[in-house]
Amino acid sequence: MSLITDAFNEGPALIPYITAGDPDEESTEKYVSALVKGGAKIIELGLPFSEPIADGPVIQEAIERSLKAGMNPKKFFELVSRIDQKIPLVVMTYYNIVYQYGDTPLESFVVKSAKCGIDGMIIPDLPVEEAEELLDICNRHGIDLIFIIAPTTPDERVEKIMEKISGFVYVQARLGITGIRTDVNQATHESLNRLKKYNIPKAVGFGVSNGDQAREIVRGGADGIIAGSVFVNIISNANSKNNSINDNEIMQLLEDKARELSKGIES
């Protein structure tokens, strides 16, 4: 059993996403600490890519800020190595970065990830039908390869994903791109019902932003929630030119939001 799967054993898991290097590396370390203090059981760190097809405007802007600040795979791995937290870390990035890193396609990225403390990978633009090589390498190095299931994913494709997946399944709450929402889409409940028969943790993402949503999703059968834009938006607003908020205040805002969501999934 993986460290990621273990994280679900004590109840529903909060999985926050932030973009590594937004607005800088030092801040990312502090923000991760605040999220863990607020109840995060797994952290999803975005390794920025110039064409983030699955991400909405809030996260796209964070990716742009991170890239402008100089974030790249080398710096990302150095940053991950410095993060001193006792919870699993998942990298969310795109296949082009994974394939082009190092001397040996795929193998170099996975080996470096394992060495630096990455426990799982989410590659939104890698279909399960083309993931065999990366999956084999991840399995050999103890890294979970996590796939996304959308409301429109056909049943036969769900079967293929569930045969290959490890760690948890990322249940896309609604069609479209990431972003802050205040409701729970009916598609979320339908997806969770469809996945009931599979014995693997199910974490719902895309639009989760408040404790009430978190509570409804977990009561609907989810084992955890993934929240990204709501945290990235806090970071963005706090670091805007019109704001004079300091790092400690940003960390408190992140911790408070994480605690709100944690309490939602525990009630």
Would you please indicate which residues are annotated as catalytic (active-site) residues?
A: 44, 55
- The DSSP symbol for 106 reads T
Q: What share of the chain is helix, strand, coil (3-state, %, to 5)?
A: 45, 15, 40
Handedness of CA 149, 92, 9, 264 (dihedral sign): negative
Q: Which two structure tokens, joined as six digits, stand for 54?
A: 């699955």
What span, in angstroms and rounded, lies between the C-alpha atoms of 174 and 165? 21
Give the CA-trace dihedral at 120, 151, 97, 224, to 10 degrees.
Answer: -30
Residue found under tokens 């409301």: 151
Residue 121 dihedral angles phi and psi, to the nearest 5°: -135, 140
Whether 100 contacts 49, CB under 8 Å:
no
Residue found under tokens 């996403």: 17
Q: Which two structure tokens, joined as six digits, stand for 196?
A: 């009931």
256: amino acid identity, one letter: D
CB-based contacts of 73: which residues, under 8 Å, 6+ apart?
A: 47, 97, 101, 109, 112
Q: Which two structure tokens, joined as six digits, stand for 224?
A: 């955890």
